[in-house]
Structures are given as C-alpha cells and as structure tokens.
Amino acid sequence: MGKVLLAGVGATPIGEHWEKSLRDLMVDASLNALRDAGVEKKNVDAIFVGNMSSGYLQGQEHLGSLLATWLGIPGVAAHKVEAACASGGAAVHDAFMAVKSGLYDCVLAVGVEKMTDASTDQLTSALIMADDQEYTAFAGFSFVALNALVYRAYMDKYGAKQEDIALFAVHDHEHAVHNPLAQYRRAVTLDAVLSSPLVADPLHLLECAPTGDGAAALLLCSEEKAKELGLKPEVEVAASALATDVLSLHDRDDLTTLNATLRAAERAYKIARVEPKNVDVAEVHDAFTVLGVIHLEDLGFAKKGEGWKLVKEGEIEAGGKIPVNMMGGLKARGHPVGATGVYEVYDAALQLLGRAGKNQVEGAEVALAQNVGGVGGTVAVTILRRVR
C-alpha cells in the first residue's frame, strides 16, 4: 500500500475563547489545515472529530455532521471519535486507517474541546468519566487524585525526588514562550512549581496541565490523491497505533508503567520500521509531570525508573538524547483534552517541516507523538517521517 501523507496542518491558539463556540473552533482549525495544504474542501472524503466532553459540557453531540455542515460539505462520511483524553489521537488513528486501507483518499482528522465555559465542578465530573464511574468515581476519586497515586507510587518504587520530576514543568514552560499558540507563554522556576498549592498530594498546581479551549486539524492524503491534486507533501504518517489497558488503577499490577503505551509504541515502531533511537523529537502526554517522566521510559527512551534523569541532565532539550515537548507540551501549550492528540501531531509535524521557530530541532527526520486517555486506559502513538 502507498504512503499516508500529511498534506496540511492547522490549529487555533489554546486559551479562553469566550467569543468562539465549539463549532467555531473546529471550523477554524479545519479551514487552516485546508489552506495550509492548498486543497479545496470539496476534495475531503471523510472527517473524524476527536472530542471527549461536548455532550456533557455543551449539550452537543453529532460533531461529525455538525462540522461537515459548517464546512459546507454535507454528504461526506463524518463522525465523532471518543477515547477520553486520547480522543484526538484516536481520530488521527482512524484517519490513518481510512487512507491506508484505500477506503478514502483525503481525510480530515480534527480535535476539539471547549472547557473554560464550564465550572470547576462540571470539569471535574467530566474528566473522571475517563475512568470507571461505578467504582472509581463513586468512591470519590478525582482525575487529579488518580495521578497523585501514580506519582506517589513512582517515587516510592524508584526513589526519585519530587524536585527532579517537577523539572518537567519548567522545561515545558521554557519552550512555550516561543510558541504563538501556547496557552501559557511564560517561564516558571522550579521553586515556583514546588511552592504552588497542592492539588492532590504530592501534585502541585504547576505540575498539572491547565484546562482550555482549542482545536487542531490534520489533512491526510493518499499518494495517488496528492499527485492528482498537484501536492508535494514533505511529511508522511509512517505509523499509527492504538492500544488499551485495564481501565482503572485498582486493577493493575504496576502503577508506574502504562501497558497501553508499551503495546502501542511497540506496534508503531514495527509499522514504521524504526526504533526509539531513531526518533529525533517526541511529543509526550504530560498532563502531570510524573506522567511525562513515565512516558520517557515506556516509549523506550530511558530505563524504567530513570526517565527523570533525562530531564535533570538536559537530555530532553534540543541537542539532547531525545528532545521532548519542544512547543510546550500539555503543561504550557495547553490541554483541551479531546484536541490534545491532534495538537501533538501538529507540533511534531512543525519540527519536520522546519516551522518550529526558536524551538526547532535541527535536522529532525522522525517524530513521535503519544496521546493518553484516562490514566493509560487508551494510548495512541503516531510516528511521522520526512518524505524521502
């Protein structure tokens, strides 16, 4: 089968978009991707919209048809994809399969979430839906509390210090300064992170990704369609893999690794025919600092229990062993949950296209994006490669 090419990318800034609705955001991102590709919307065969909570927060479902309608292309195949915080990555996965299989030639993968219109209570209720309502939520756990358990388990098992793990937030903010779409374009110090209020012990406020509004979109095309349209995309989607784990932490043997990441990464590496050492830049799902550290290990960039060393030793910076979250990550670029997986691929693509500005990793040829739903109940891994 031919290559799946990334013909265009588009996104909105992440922030408090009081003046824009959910539909506005996803239409804006989609049109940006089409303009970037130089493709007319009539050429789109299918649309996959990643979103977690529109039904609960906006009282609006049926996002596929909604977006097709407002793009002015009713008639195309379109539907919503939901996998909690991995909804965006799952939408990319579906788009990849649709083009790779030959079923469709030109597909939009869109991620969207609007969170700032909701109260904290509403958001807390929405986010815990990523776990088991009848057991975890019923017992009074919040999503932050579950990740605090993971944090505590990791420090206890590997003897890691919180100040070393918390450096992940400092790293993200340093790079978000130069990202025009980032929600928090300001640097923070380690002292500021560790002196910020505790949200769920040991998680401090500045170790947690913020809520926000935003949308991102990717246009995927087959080689044949790209030639027909006169396009010469510079990036291909070399692999996309999706995996699940036992949904809730209380049923897992080890809280310090995400089995879904192990499975999805193994599959993606195999499809793309690369190894972790071949990845030049990565976007990992650091909704909380400890997750960023764990992902470095599960993706094969560090030994178990030693992911924090890459952060402390500067190995996730440009020029390091594996540059990570060079556009600010979830912590500082922002985390509009259902859109995050698409933003991650968008940021990874900017690196391969040489459009990352002051955050550019020179000579990047292979990029990886990892998107997590819940506390690892679902994980999507996407690998991009410059067209050779």
> Model confidence at 182, in pLDDT bands (50, 70, 90)?
very high
Contact between residue 280 and residue 363 where contact means Cβ atoms under 8 Å apart: yes
CA 384, CA 5: separation in Å to the nearest integer? 9
Cα separation, 95 vs 49, in Å, equals 10
Q: Which of 169, 178, 207, 171 is nearest to 317 (CA)?
A: 171
Beta strands per DSSP E along the chain: 4-11, 46-50, 77-81, 106-113, 198-200, 203-204, 214-222, 235-244, 281-283, 366-373, 378-386
Catalytic residue among 93, 173, 295, 335: 335
Closest CA relative to residue 41, chosen from 7, 13, 4, 16: 7
Check residue 67 and give its pLDDT: 98
The predicted-structure confidence for 112-147, as pLDDT tens digits, reads as follows 999 999 999 999 999 999 999 888 888 888 999 999
Query: pLDDT (tens digit, 9 = 90+) per residue, 314-362?
Result: 999 999 999 999 999 999 999 999 999 999 999 999 999 999 999 999 9
Structure tokens at 193: 């992170």
Two tokens, residue 126: 């929405």
Q: How far apart are CA 172 and CA 271, in angstroms?
A: 29
* Strand blocks (E) in 120-163: none
Q: What is the pTM of this model?
A: 0.98
Of 144, 149, 196, nearest to 173 by C-alpha is 196
Give me the pLDDT at residue 175, please: 98
- CA 117, 119, 120, 126 torsion-angle sign: negative
Q: Cis link prior to 202 (omega < 30° from 0)? A: yes
What is the C-alpha separation between 257 and 295, in angstroms, rounded?
8
Rounded-to-integer distance, Cα 225 and Cα 221, Å: 6
Residue 157 has pLDDT above 80, yes or no: yes
Number of other CB atoms surrounding residue 35 within 10 Å:
12
**pLDDT tops 80 at residue 1:** no
- How far apart, in Å, are the Cα atoms of 196 and each of 174, 191, 248, 362, 365? 17, 8, 28, 35, 38
**How many CA atoms lie less than 13 Å away from 189 in the CB half-sphere?**
3
CB 217 within 8 A of CB 33: yes
Rounded mean pLDDT, 243-260: 96
Q: For 61-86, write each residue's pLDDT tens digit.
A: 999 999 999 999 999 999 999 999 99
Give yes or no: 221 in active site: no
Judge whether 85 counts as a catalytic residue: yes
pLDDT one-digit tens code per residue, 203-249: 999 999 999 999 999 999 999 999 999 999 999 999 999 999 999 99
Residue with tokens 């309608």: 69
Residue in this structure with the two tokens 């968008």, named with its chain if needed: 346
Q: Is the separation of the CB atoms in 22 and 58 below 8 Å? A: yes
3-state class (DSSP) for residue 105? coil
Average pLDDT over residues 23-27: 98
Q: Are 64 and 75 in contact (CB under 8 A)?
A: no
Give me the catalytic one of 17, 85, 173, 295.
85
Q: How confident is the model at residue 30 (pLDDT cuts 50, 70, 90)?
A: very high
**pLDDT (0 to 100) of residue 388:** 82
- Within 8 A by CB and 6+ apart from 156, the residues are none
What domains sit in the chain, N to C, each tagged with a CATH number? 4-119+211-236 (3.40.47.10), 140-210+238-386 (3.40.47.10)
Cα angle 186, 143, 204; round to 5: 40
Residues in the chain: 388
d(CA 109, CA 371): 14
Q: What is the mean pLDDT of residues 169-174?
A: 98
CA distances 224 to 1, 77, 228, 229, Å, are 11, 20, 6, 9
Q: Are 264 and 380 in contact (CB under 8 A)?
A: yes
* Cα torsion through 327, 46, 20, 112, rounded to 10: -50
